[in-house]
Amino acid sequence: MKKKMGIFSFACCEGCQLQILDLGSSLLKLLGVADITYFKLAQEKNIFDKFDIAIIEGAISNKKELEELKQIRAASKYLVAIGACAVSGGIPSLIIEKTRKKTFGVDKFVKVDYHIRGCPIDKEEFEKIIIGFLVDKKEPEINHPVCVECNEKEIQCLFKKGLPCLGPVTAAGCKAICPESNTPCEACRGLIKDANIASVVNEFKKMGLSEKEILDKLYKFNPIDRKEAEKCI
């Protein structure tokens, strides 16, 4: 019997769901072993029932979304958060922050079985993780920084070039594509556990960044408590 999947959207641009649709023939293979019974972006008929896997894109920004999220969690064996918005609050936090409201990653409210990171997600990584869940084989989550991938690819450290990079505190898995193109990491994959933010802030201050520039950079994809961030400054 095929397993049932649901793909749900909250506060986001839906770019991660477009990555899923862009899987092409791989998506057809996935549909050979799973029925996507709920996916409003891609189909007209949607059935909310019990799910083996619920996939969540988007941050939680209001009580209505929170109640829906809780219903999804209760109806699902596994819940997977995809993209920066669902993982940490993401870009919507920048907009809503101006209204003095907040958005949060879904694990602020419910148990999350896996975080697929990025803005947007990597479609091949998504395929690998979801297939693992379909056969009840959970991949370990990455908790080493982007710097490890830079070293593996022999990419010159952007700090040494005087560029404000968040690679030392950001979860790897992106293959260091931004530093490889001489673009500083902006932490779209979220922060590693026990990230040494104070150390990175100290490097940014040496580069001449203002307090506002530092806070904005730290906050862009990861709405960490500003009071905690300010302690580092």
Q: Domain spans of the chain?
A: 3-134, 146-232
Q: Is the pLDDT of residue 231 over 80?
A: no
Contacts of 206 (CB under 8 A, 6+ apart): none
The tally of CA atoms less than 13 A away on the side-chain side of residue 17 is 23
For the chain, where are the alpha helices, taking DSSP H only? 15-21, 25-31, 63-74, 83-88, 92-97, 123-134, 146-152, 177-180, 197-206, 211-219, 226-232
3-134: what CATH class? alpha beta
Q: What is the pLDDT of residues 105-156, one digit of tens each?
A: 899 899 999 999 999 999 999 999 999 999 888 889 999 999 999 999 999 9
Q: Is the pLDDT of residue 161 over 80?
A: yes
